[in-house]
Structure 1
Amino acid sequence: MSAFLYGVALQWKLDIRSKSLLITCYVVPLLFFAVMGGMFTSINPQAKYTLIQSMTVLGVSTGALIGLPPSLVEIYGSDIKKVYKANGVPLYLGMVSMFLSAFIHLLIMCAIICIIAPIAFDATLPASLPLYFSSLAVFIAVSLSIGSVLGLWVKNQAKLTMISQVIFLPSIMLSGIMFSTSLLPRFFEIVGKILPATWGYQLIVDEGFYFGNLWPLLAILLGAVILCVFLLRRLKSE
């Protein structure tokens, strides 16, 4: 247990120095929040009631789908994997430590948005902060599980970037954070419901925490965990 905690702490320190993680977990989401926050509330004054949730979904999706997978490829698509095997280190340690480190970073980023939004854009805070952050923790975990699958599955960085974007862009456009999903054609509305961002957004808005919004996220999480176990076993046998 102490070795595991040491690995997580070490990964946290490495991630703090990582430019890619700094960009995807902090710079891009917070810069987008700074630019679009004012635009959203100017175009539609009602946006202040869901601004925190909208920017949070974008930030979490960016960090989990764009930031985490390349970091996993650096481990499992390189000679670092051989070092793990040679020293008897479980292969899952790299993924779990990165998962937990990214989880903490994304939670910090979301807390920054939650603090600044009411001051900068007169955004409305969630009615219940404990319930909001509990729901947010579920959404972050599910999003990172998808990022973990991508990082373990795709070994080529160029192909990984393309696939990550294919999932990321629909997650933002079809989740309801830009405009109501009721405005979408039926086909795109159905596609949006396959993605965790749609359910995550519905879960973290006020009065959105109920089983109908929670079970799709739990189902996605379970499927991603099963895939991660399968992919790690495949990597171990290679």
Structure 2
Amino acid sequence: MQLWKECSMRERMWLIFFTVSYALLYGFGSISLLTVATAFMGSVCMFLGAKAKISNFLPGAIYTLLYAWQCYLFDFKTVLYLHLLFHFPLQFVGWYFWHKNRVGPASMQEDIVVRQLFPHAWIAVLLSLILVSTFFAQVVFSIGNGQAELDILAFIFSIAAQLLMIGRFMENWVAWLCLNVFNIALWTYTAITVTPTFSIAYMWLIFMGNCAYGCYRWVQIGNKQTQMFAGPYSKLKLRKV
């Protein structure tokens, strides 16, 4: 398999780790087959995204449908509609735009040209997300007579992260990391107060590891692409698709 050959030893160990951990959780009866499939497809999607591979959108589309089903079972309606009406169709939109911006000679086996909003843009993105999320949560809290939906934060951060990722901006990983922190807290709270769902919280913990690696790798890719395509001695040109 080409992907396996391109992976470093640490990347191979990470793939083996989350695959085996999901299998063990299922084997011990800690999680359902639906949760295993959801977690595995989501982890593969994020791992491929971290490597800037266009192929990440295929497992991404499957993951969005499976996670929507998971949210339906737990009555998280906001996140359910978000995945069905937003994230699922945008997997195909993302594939289209990434395919149109494929890199010519790759610096780290990546498929696309990555971008950055502006210096220190991740700080602006993070602050904006916090402000918008706080405002949105207050509006929902008021309309719901004091019953604010906890998953409203996931709604805001998911939209921002997905749009930044489609745009190939490095800052998308900051938004994904914030979303993962929230989802870990959400599912842990659900496990304590409603029904045992620590396995889903663990899934988001794996996702956080993928996102942290994605942030690190995209910065590396961006630096190398800058040297290759915009350096003073660069003669390489982007391939037109």
Structure with the greater relative contact order (CA < 8 A, sep ≥ 6): 1 or 2?
Answer: 1
Identify, as 1 or 2, the structure richer in helix: 1
